[in-house]
Amino acid sequence: MPKKKEKHFFYKNLVNAAVGFTGGILGALLIGVLFVVVSSKTVEQKVESLVDQKIVTQEDMIISTVKKADPAVVSIVITKDVPVMEQYYENSPFLGPFSDFFGGLFGDPFQNFQYKVPQYRQKGTEKKEIGGGSGFFVSADGMIITNKHVVDDTEAEYTVFTNKGEKYNATVVARDPVNDIAVIKIEGDEFPFLQFADSDNLNVGQTAIAIGNALGEFRNTVSVGIVSGLSRSLTAGDSYGKSEQLEGVIQTDAAINPGNSGGPLLNSHGEVIGVNVAMANGSENIGFSLPSNLIRSVVDSVKENGKIIRPFLGVRYIAINQNIKEKNKLSVDYGALVVRGETTEDLAVIPGSPADKAGIEENDIILEVNGRKLDKNSSLSQMIINKKVGDVITLKILHKGEEKTVEVTLEEIPE
């Protein structure tokens, strides 16, 4: 009997152990499920918190940047003496040869009939606002950067309005002979001014903030977007039919409108990465800005020399691509083909220029500048404009089917 009791006790303990083990497993599983549920909610809350934090941070960053930069952005109003026209009437000779006939046929009323023709003549002039643009301070003593096309009229007067509504008469200090850049100045001191970022370090997708006098009416308008593209080339034109080739510009989807011209394009730190210069007609959210390193060189030149000094090579050219290669049966699909302009006066190589002195001839192909290949990402004008007067550059040239290397000393663009 005792043995049976011991056996019964053994099985009882075994069952208890099994139940306990199973319970332990179930308990662990339950705790695990609860942990997963709690952890999942915690992770979800953390993600939501991070998203909210990022949104708040982005918004705060933009607000902070605008508050910092806005006082340095100005509006430019263009005024000019324009003719005042008045209307008057002159007797028309329309009935002259027929007056006797009509008079005799219908009697006296037609003898005195005169047909009046409206005419116009100038009656003095009046000062009138004819346009507007934007700009920004680059020094505490009132030096301002804007676009050349904003202040291109030598007979107009230019007035600057600061963010505080203060009004100043502006003087045009310099207009860039190559790019759409100009420097104007107002009298005063302790003006807030903007710093430049290095436009060579820009990345597609980074934040871009534009500030300017939108439509020439809404001063210090802010728009936000990203850097959409780099090293773009385009032909920009104005309402007067003038056009110019712009290369190495920044593309952005931050809204740029007429009147924004000359305003800054900023990074998230409030530094200038570009100067707004053009928008693409017939499209949405495609604007362009001149890179800050180009603008900085203009400012430095004016501060040092009192004018904008640009180096030049002295050739006319077209950039070669696959289409140009095939059409002209060239041996390369890159480089700059030295060609004549549209008129007989537009020579391929300007006499007495650095290119002429280096022996460059019409139909030569410039392949490289200082070892850098000229292609869609590196144009000849872009390579030259980043140099200084007096710099010596090395050109690889394809001359009558043979490659050769020449050294050229850059000179100042003649006035």
pLDDT in tens, the chain (415 residues): 444 444 444 444 544 544 454 445 545 444 454 444 445 556 565 556 555 555 557 788 889 899 999 999 999 999 987 677 767 677 665 554 555 554 544 455 545 555 667 777 777 667 787 888 999 999 999 999 999 999 999 889 999 999 888 999 999 999 987 889 999 999 999 999 999 999 989 999 999 999 988 877 788 889 999 999 888 877 765 555 565 677 789 999 998 888 888 999 999 999 999 999 988 776 677 889 999 998 998 999 999 889 888 888 999 998 898 998 999 889 999 999 999 887 777 899 999 999 999 999 999 999 999 999 988 778 888 788 878 889 999 999 999 889 999 999 999 887 6
Q: How far is CA 73 from CA 67, 189, 292, 328, in A?
A: 11, 15, 16, 48
Q: Which of 134, 199, 261, 381 is labelled catalytic?
A: 261
Say which of 75, 149, 289, 353 is annotated catalytic: 149
Give the sign of the dihedral formed by CA 370, CA 373, CA 374, CA 377: negative
CB within 8 Å of 292: residues ≥ 6 apart: 196, 197, 198, 199, 271, 272, 273, 274, 275
Q: Is 149 in the active site?
A: yes
Two structure tokens written together for 24: 């332990």
Q: pLDDT tens for residues 263-301?
A: 999 999 999 999 999 887 766 778 899 999 989 989 999
76 with 133: CB under 8 angstroms? yes
Q: What pTM was computed for the model?
A: 0.70
Q: Would you tell me how many other CB atoms lie within 10 Å of the CB of residue 54?
A: 10
The answer to whether residue 300 is catalytic is no
Measured distance CA(103)–CA(107) in Å, rounded:
5
In this prediction, residue 346 carries a pLDDT of: 82
Angle ∠(54,58,64) on CA atoms, nearest 5: 140
81 carries an active-site annotation? no
Catalytic residue among 134, 176, 180, 289: 180
